Amino acid sequence: MTYVLIPGAGGDPRYWDLLVDELHTRGHRAVAVPLPAADPDAALPEYAATVRAVVDTHPEVVLVAQSLGAFTAPLVADHPAVRLLVLVNPMIPAPGETPGDWWAATSHAQARAAYAAAQGRAPNADVDPAVDFFHDVPADVAARMHDGPQESDAVFVRPNPLRDWPHVPTRVISGRDDRFFPADFQRRLAADRLGVHPDELPGGHLLALSRPHLLAEKLQSFTAGQKRKSGRGIRRAPMLPGPSRPVGRE
């Protein structure tokens, strides 16, 4: 079984480096896919084609997607090699919903503001990578990531070809301390759109950087569950459509 890892915004495969090392230590194959995020002509179809080309070279795959990568993953999960789909702190899409539409459709801003206020932080502060993403990432690890590639606008505005969730077991992993996608918000979204309850780990939005050991353990437990033909976590609920007005990005 090979873990094929899809990064979030920016498409930087270095995000997965620590997790790849953890999985290799456990005897697993893992491949992090670089996405053409900086290409103004590339969007979800091109991202999916890039990932599919990697999946083509492996007979059995666990597809793992971080955050914005959850928009790409279901476009590839119909591949016959994919045995399991795992979404980590994900932007779970509805059919036809663009990443730009997702923010208003899910009431993300309200959820983020409420969580910030509950923690004593400014509820309407602009997104600050140090506060929202890297607050629990070791300083030396964070320093290596700040010069990563940027995401072009194309992926947020071009159409999403997803028409229904693929018929593959799907699991969600949430960071209990995620400031950008608060855990309550993720629970609601996973229940409403996939009919599943997330598995939660301590840590924030960037679990592969802050908790690679725990994330590898969790992924390994899912793989064992697949070998036992466990059905827990399979998407069952219908997905909901989103409105058409983009309000932000991740």
Return left, alpha or beta for 167; rule: phi > 0 is left, psi -120 to 50 is alpha, else beta.
beta
**Residue listed under structure tokens 């890297």:** 134
Homologous superfamily (CATH) for 2-227: Alpha/Beta hydrolase fold, catalytic domain (3.40.50.1820)
Q: Please give the pLDDT value at position 146.
A: 73
C-alpha pair distances (Å), 145 with each of 148, 217, 240: 6, 23, 34
CB atoms within 10 A of CB 249: 16
Q: Please give the pLDDT value at position 242.
A: 36
Q: How many CA atoms lie within 13 A of 89 on its CB side?
A: 27
Torsion of Cα atoms, 206 then 72 then 221 then 135, to 10°: 10
Average pLDDT, 10 consecutive residues per value, the chain (250 residues): 96 97 97 96 98 98 98 98 98 98 98 98 96 96 81 96 97 98 98 98 98 98 68 41 34
Give helix 108-118 / helix 183-194 axis angle, nearest 10°: 150
Q: Please give the pLDDT value at position 149.
A: 66
What stretches of the chain show up as alpha helix (H) in DSSP?
A: 17-25, 44-55, 69-72, 99-106, 108-118, 129-132, 139-145, 154-157, 183-194, 207-210, 212-227
